[in-house]
Homo-oligomer: A and B are copies of this chain.
Amino acid sequence: MPDKVRIALDTMGGDHGPSVTVLGAELSLGRHPNIEFILFGDRALVEPLLEARPRLKAASRFVHTEVSVGMDEKPSQALRHGRWKSSMWLAIDAVKKHDADVAVSAGNTGALMAMAKFHLRTMPGIERPAIAGLWPTIRRPSVVLDLGASIGADASHLVNLAMMGSAMARVLYGLERPNVGLLNIGVEEVKGLEEVREAGRLLREAELPFLDYKGFIEGNSIGQGEIDVVVTEGFTGNIALKAAEGTARQLARHLKAEMTRTIWTKLGYLLARSAFRSLADKMDPGKANGGVFLGLNGIVIKSHGNTDAQGFAYAVDIGHDMVHHALLAKIGEMLAMDRRDLTRPREVGGSRSS
């Protein structure tokens, strides 16, 4: 890994601010010594943490700002008071000015998306950006999008999501042609799914070179991990991912409580704890922390707001990987190549023979 990856960090974002984000940056730097950070935040909070971490300090440039975007601020509010000067804006601005390759923030999603969209603008051919996340499965995590950036989607937006998500899966896993599925429900002949069916038809007929369309997928199959990229509109995607996260967390909590009820179950827990650790490693949504904003002229990574340093480090890792493996170039390449096959969504002829 010789190439530098320059990461702009909104240190003030998230429920815990610098105490989590700066520590997370240090953890990720340990794994990726080729990172250079630009840290945006309040001197009083960030500098003491940096002083205690000479290695991180040596790899970082610090930029002071007293303005930060609150976790509960509405996007319009945040844009009004935080533009030009908040740590969130400055991190995005660094990407805009090519001072950084990627921005990472644990700040509030709505504000981050609004600022990113306003400042970076969408890529040619993309009307609405999307948020892609990683869904823990019994195999490796699958890419799921959109997680809430766009509500409702016509067929052509769903096709765009499929292409952008596939570019991300190529970057993450080095896949030539990731498997793609459209999230759908099993009930036949129900009204209102025309756009999903139409998107399915488009993807099937186009036989795109960079993705392998596998048809519809139902909610209970996502966690099997056989589909690399699961596509749906943002409302459903957000709720489905959170429902799955909640279920995993509640099961773990319930099991833990049951495990400590008697001396025998406690002993059983001690003997079997490697199994539990493996479970947590594999299925903990925190380990797959990091939503990737797709479709913008720049890469922005959104970490969970209530994550710990470990979780934030995963988000930084994802930012690093996206840059290191040239996500933006791959999306561009995909859109350019695939448009030749898809041209305009309603006019697809079909028969590629490769």
Residues of A bordering B, CB below 8 Å = 74-76, 109-110, 113-114, 137-138, 148-152, 183, 185-193, 218-224, 232, 234-236, 238-251, 253-255, 258-259, 261-262, 264-265, 267-276, 278-279, 282-283
Contact = CB atoms under 8 A, between A and B. Distances in A.
Nearest to A259: B275
Contacts of A75: 188-189
A246 B243 contact: no
A239 B232 contact: yes
Choose among A183, A272, A276, A282 the residue with the greatest number of B CB atoms under 10 Å from its CB.
A272
Nearest to A275: B258
Contacts of A261: 275
A251 B251 contact: yes
A209 to B, nearest CB: 29
8 contacts: A109-B186, A110-B188, A138-B254, A185-B239, A219-B240, A219-B243, A243-B247, A255-B276
- 7 closest A-B pairs by beta carbon, nearest first, are A268-B272, A151-B192, A219-B242, A268-B271, A220-B246, A258-B275, A219-B243
B244 A110 contact: no
Main secondary structure of the interface of A (DSSP, over half): helix
Given A246-B244, A251-B279, A185 B268 contact: no
A203 to B, nearest CB: 19
B187 A109 contact: yes
B265 A272 contact: yes
A37 B234 CA distance: 45
Contacts of A148: 185-187, 190
Contacts of A193: 151, 235
A217 to B, nearest CB: 10
A327 to B, nearest CB: 23
Contacts of A251: 247-248, 251, 279, 283
B235 A219 contact: no
B246 A222 contact: yes
B275 A271 contact: no
A214 B255 CA distance: 29
B239 A255 contact: no
B250 A223 contact: yes
A187 B110 contact: yes
Contacts of A234: 185, 190
Contact of A275 (B183, B238, B255): B255
A250 B283 contact: yes
A248 B282 CA distance: 14
A192 B243 contact: no
Given A110-B189, A187-B148, A259-B275, A220 B249 contact: yes
Contact of A240 (B76, B113, B137, B243): B243
B190 A110 contact: yes
Contact of A268 (B239, B241, B268): B268
Contact of A267 (B271, B273, B278): B271
A283 B246 CA distance: 12
